[in-house]
Amino acid sequence: MNTTPRLELQGMTKIYPSVIANDSIDLRIYPGEIHAVLGENGAGKSTLMKAIYGVVKPDRGRILWNGKPVVIQNPAHARKLGIGMVFQHFSLFETLTVTENIALAMDDSPRLEPLAERIRTVSADYGLPLDPERLVHSLSVGLRQRVEILRCLLQEPKLLIMDEPTSVLTPQAVRTMFDTLRRLAAEGCSILYISHKLDEIMELCHNATIIRGGRVTGYAKPAEESAAGLARMMIGKELPVCSQKRPQISGKTSLTVNNLSTKSADPFGTDLREISFSVSEGEIVGMAGISGNGQQELLYCLSGERLVDDENVITMYDVPVGRLNPDQRRNLGLGFVPEERLGRGAVPGMSLTENTILTAHRHGMVKNGLLRFRRAAEFTRRCITGFSVKCGSIEDPITSLSGGNMQKYITGREILQQPKLLIVSQPTWGVDIGAANVIRQAMIDLRNNGSAVLVVSEELDELFEICDRLIVIAQGRVSPSLQVRETNKEEVGLWMSGMFPGGPKEKTAHSPQEPGSHVC
Amino acid sequence: MDFAIFLKILVAAVAAGTPFVYAALGELVTEKSGVLNLGVEGMMLVGAITGFIAMAKTGSLLLAVACGMAAGALMAAIFGVLTLTLMANQVASGLALTIFGVGLSAFLGLNYTSIALPGIAKLHIPLLSDIPVLGKLLFSYDILVYGSLALFFLVSWFLYKTRAGLILRGIGEAPKSAHALGYNVIGIRYLAVLFGGAMAGLGGVYLSVAYTPVWVQGMVAGRGWVSLALVVFATWRPLRVLFGAYLFGAITIAQFHIQGLGIDIPSQLLSMLPYLATIIVLVIISRDLTAIRLNSPASLGITYHPENQ
Amino acid sequence: MFVKIEPRPEPSRVMKYCSPLIAALLMLISGLIIFTLLGKDPMQAFFAFFIEPVHDLYSVGELFIKAAPLMLIGTGLAIGFRANIWNIGAEGQMALGAIFGGYIAIIFHGSSSHFVLPLMILCGAAGGMLWAAIPALLKTVFNANEILVSLMLNYVALLLLELLVHGPLRDPNGYGFPQSVLFSDSAMLPILIKGTRLHLGVLISIIGVGIGWVFLEKSFTGYQLQVAGLAQKAATYAGFDYKKLIWIGMLAGGLAAGIAGVLEIAGPIGQLLPSISPGYGYAAIIVAFVGRLHPGGIFLSSLLMALLYLGGESGQMNLDLPSAVTGIFQGLLLFYLLAADFLIYFRLRITRRQRKEG
């Protein structure tokens, strides 16, 4: 292509007080090109995109738009130039309607009625139908993303930025979205596609810029590279793998959920319907599903942060625990790592040692109602050495840890208490690959020592790597379980959209082709 | 109770409810932007004394209103600097504002405690005011009462019919999203806070210049706090604020009428009525968590840090 | 040269301790400006306001008498504030303490039993807790906002006190004045140091602060309150019972305020009056914040706040300064503190190079 690049970045640099997020990044994208920005979590991809969209002001560097230097003042300015962005964490307003949400992103103050009409036609045209009158909080995550995309499409963008768009989609829905993106590109729109998923990038993107630690480490044509090659550029070494040694262990049933139904406490949440499954000692059970399908609500019930009406619905080692609070469940051997680290799994404004007391206090850290800080410090030291947590000292505030280190610390704190049942939600969300590997290995080790582990994750690759069995959650219902070695992503993907025996979309589903998939 | 007395009570309730209308609608707009300003009482007091002084010195109602609103807005500006620019805790800052306002108004009012103002005239609209019953009920008030009604229509229209209102609601609901779309969250919140302050100040002016035209230290007597409760009671909807304000107006004047009826109850017990009613109303409304969540701005009271998004 | 504001990577511990001092200093400077604007010689006014009240032993005793209820209530409130439980009702809880305690003093009038005083304190504590239990109950059962409820109850309590001293608890031989009998000696707090008015209540208050310190800094419950305040979801995640913490937070404030109410009527006042507190319940909120919700800090800030009260009186007597200035100072102090706290999380950096537009 020898035309002028639609967008060119020269020496883009953004410095935060504690970290250089972007260090002299150069990037070029042409009209009609789908260009990947590839890098692991924390590499600085999102910051770069926010700089292009005018949300973040870069400290140094130039942006050329169609060959002319521009200073993008704010998102409205970016939109005026023809830049649209679909955020990873949606920038939607829950209590407003679809139309109102889209109106807020339009700069020409449209009247709401004609806008609703346009939403109807354009969304149908792109095969992404949407009801403009719906309140956003009543939409599924996938539909919410649709609102975000449509918001961009209505402005007929010249450049569309998509930040990790597939984490909220089933493998099948990913394909539909790829079709839409290819069509947009064919119409001349440039697409910047941010992801850390190698297979998607190899399938979709024409070119890639690879970023590591805030710097560009290479440019590539993904179709001509191997996954291993891209991974090396992304993390600077071979992709680490977990040890696959897994002795067969047959143990007692650790956790049983028997016909659990609840109404969500949050009016915008998902109700749980007739959920039944179990987890035994010596196995890792993975729960797959698109976020927002009831995982949060289910985990609140399992951890005891929310009590259920009938105590017998949830049992741990045959003890009914449905009416026990988290503290009492931990006394029975439960460990729990929630997906929100800061503010739930750990307390901002407290040191590592103080955060240890949060759940580990039962291990001799309280005597006569008074705290024994020395015990807590000792435990904390074991945790940071055992899980290679990088920190200054154990008296440092927890907020001084990076995302990966914080997750290692919290996981370590829970595992060091030798739980008989460990529940982990989104173990590697936003975590760098090195830390992710430590965490996955720790879960496998715990399993090998005879504990039961339940992992809730949106990353299918991760679940297929570490789990023995899989269950799928969709619209508040949980599927029967599948043995990992007897299923594949295709099948799990279908189940994620609700097409499983007893699932919300069972009737409309074609029965799974392979009769070989083993239903436990 | 004969009809004439009932009518008299209704009319009096509207007048007594008017300071609530101003203060609570102002606070409603502030809260819709996601900011909880607990300093309403302080802003009302400072507005009341400033308006009183202006009225005493010049005799101009317009000037009194302008001064009271400016004083309220100025107080709100202090709150804005603390919570929006310096990112201080909104609860603590609001309390500080009230404590400061109590002190400041007492100080400013030292030389005005023995002055009585003439009050302001009721509007007499030819023909309309002379209609029996209806004329009395609808067309027998002073201009500030009608001003509060105009404010009600203005706020309802602004919040639900204009783009600016939509942006304001969006910012209260999800400031991060609004920021990502390019809206100036802090700037718009400043405007909402200043508006709330000006309206609280105006509510204060109504009290000291029209309703009981004398200055008594601490004369707002908890009406600012009741206004805060009214916003919750109204689940953040202007029409219900209006209704609640008149309800509380009625409760406020009920004590005088009960005494007037010759029922022998200690005056202190009667004075407790509005405060007890506030508690009861809060209890009734707060039970319904879903209604609260659906109507309250999601970011209410949470400090917004533009840097860590 | 440009001043650039940037977030600190970590909150500054130094600034945490410095910001109350900065706030006090700024308040002093503002004070001097206000004095000047009022046409007074600032140095003379400064002396009258801040030095005169502590120039001899007797005055220092007065300082502690004023500081005692502030430090006691401040500590009690801090227990709730740490968990974001906003008990604004100390003024009313104090009144209830005085009513309950005062009632005991009145029915045992003339008795010389040693049990009268302890019984008064016990009942006063119960009264304060009872009043604080109302917002706690309404919050835990009906989710009613404790700020508004506890505040409304202040008005109710003050009216109740007024009602009682006008009626049932009025001294029958008091010529109709709204006040109770003067308490007998058995219902009065003994003086600790001759030549001062320093009474046993001051010691009780200091002990109260000490107990608060152990509770907040060393106990598991104190830790739980802190967690709930910093991250309520983390408290739920850990399984701490938030409703229990609400009760503890509210009742601690009620207990402290109730006792403070008794100590006031059994100390400097000596009878029940229609008003027994010059806004201690509100001032204690400022004391708690300026003291960083830490009992040690609260002890110091209560002395500062007491100085403001005494300074207001002294300024009024010596220089004809309006005593309402005290209220302004109180508000300013809290404003400055909240503003100075910005420096805990942000720093100002002077840069030479102009920021390039990027």
Domain spans, chain A: 7-235, 253-347+415-496
Chains that touch C (3 or more CB pairs under 8 A): A, B
Look at the domain A7-235 and name its fold: Rossmann fold (3.40.50)
Structural contact between residues A210 and A219, judged by C-beta atoms closer than 8 angstroms:
yes
Nearest CB partner across the interface for B182, out of A75, A100, A268:
A75
Task: Determine whether the interchain pair A87/B176 forms a contact, defined as Cβ–Cβ distance below 8 Å.
Answer: no
Single-letter residue type at A456: V
Task: Determine whether the interchain pair C326/B269 forms a contact, defined as Cβ–Cβ distance below 8 Å.
Answer: no
Residue B309, pLDDT score = 39
Determine which of C225, C237, C293 to mutate to test the interface with A (most A C-beta atoms within 10 Å): C237
The average pLDDT across C65-75 equals 97
Residue A196, pLDDT score = 81
The average pLDDT across B47-75 equals 97
Determine which of A9, A370, A371, A399 to mutate to test the interface with C (most C C-beta atoms within 10 Å): A370
Sequence-ordered alpha helix ranges (H) in A70-165 = 75-81, 98-105, 112-125, 141-153
Q: Is the pLDDT of residue C354 over 60?
A: no
* Phi, psi values for residue C28, rounded to 5°: -60, -45
- Report the gap between the CA of A175 and the closest CA in chain C (Å): 37
* Phi, psi values for residue C41, rounded to 5°: -70, 120
Task: Determine whether the interchain pair A96/B182 forms a contact, defined as Cβ–Cβ distance below 8 Å.
Answer: no
Residue A507, pLDDT score = 52
Residue A128, pLDDT score = 81
The average pLDDT across C144-160 equals 96
Residues of C in contact with A71 (CB under 8 A): 357-358
* Pairing, β A314-316 against β A253-262: antiparallel
Residues of B in contact with C167 (CB under 8 A): 266
Q: Is the pLDDT of residue C357 over 60?
A: no
Residue A181, pLDDT score = 92
Task: Determine whether the interchain pair B182/A109 forms a contact, defined as Cβ–Cβ distance below 8 Å.
Answer: no
- Identical fold for domains A7-235 and A253-347+415-496, yes or no, is yes
Structure tokens at A182: 């290819």
Structural contact between residues A317 and A324, judged by C-beta atoms closer than 8 angstroms:
no
Residues 6+ apart with CB under 8 A from A254: A278, A279, A280, A281, A316, A317, A420, A421, A451, A452
Maximum mean pLDDT: which of A430-434, C6-10, C320-324: A430-434
Nearest CB partner across the interface for C218, out of A62, A370, A396:
A370
Nearest CB partner across the interface for B106, out of C88, C152, C327:
C327
C164 — pLDDT class (breaks 50, 70, 90):
very high
Mean pLDDT per 10-residue segment, chain A (520 residues): 84 86 93 93 87 90 94 90 86 91 85 91 86 89 88 91 87 88 93 89 93 91 88 83 79 94 85 95 95 93 95 96 96 96 93 97 95 96 94 90 91 96 93 89 94 94 94 95 93 92 68 39
Nearest CB partner across the interface for C335, out of B96, B226, B275:
B96
Residue A69 burial (10 A CB sphere; 0-12, 13-18, 19+): exposed
Angstrom distance (rounded) from CA A479 to CA C344? 50
Nearest CB partner across the interface for B86, out of C155, C282, C339:
C339
C10 — pLDDT class (breaks 50, 70, 90):
confident
Does residue C345 sit at the A interface (CB-CB below 8 Å)?
Answer: no
Neighbours of C43 (CB within 10 A): 10
Structure tokens at B48: 């009341």
What single-letter DSSP state applies at residue C355? P
Which residues in chain C (202-261) have CB-CB distances under 8 A to chain B?
none
* A491 membership: H or E segment, kind and range: helix A489-496
C97 — pLDDT class (breaks 50, 70, 90):
very high
Residue A420: strand, helix, or coil: coil
By percentage, how much of chain C surpasses pLDDT 90? 72
Chains that touch B (3 or more CB pairs under 8 A): A, C
Q: Is the pLDDT of residue C324 over 90?
A: no
Complete domains list, chain C, with CATH: 41-320 (1.10.3470)
Task: Tell which residue, C331, C342, C5, has the closest CA to residue B86.
Answer: C342
Residues of C in contact with A357 (CB under 8 A): 223
The average pLDDT across B214-233 equals 94
Complete domains list, chain B, with CATH: 3-295 (1.10.3470)
Residue B288, pLDDT score = 82
Residue A515, pLDDT score = 38
By percentage, how much of chain C surpasses pLDDT 70? 97
Task: Provide the whole-model pTM.
Answer: 0.91
Single-letter residue type at B63: L
Angstrom distance (rounded) from CA B37 to CA B27? 7
Sequence-ordered alpha helix ranges (H) in A367-432 = 373-386, 403-415
- Give the architecture-level CATH label for domain A253-347+415-496: 3-Layer(aba) Sandwich (3.40)
Task: Tell which residue, A326, A291, A320, has the closest CA to residue A425.
Answer: A291
The average pLDDT across B223-243 equals 95
Cα C42 to the chain's mean position, in Å? 28
Does residue C317 sit at the B interface (CB-CB below 8 Å)?
Answer: no
Angstrom distance (rounded) from CA C321 to CA C319? 5
* Pairing, β A469-474 against β A314-316: unpaired
Residues of A in contact with B176 (CB under 8 A): 91
Mean pLDDT of chain B: 91
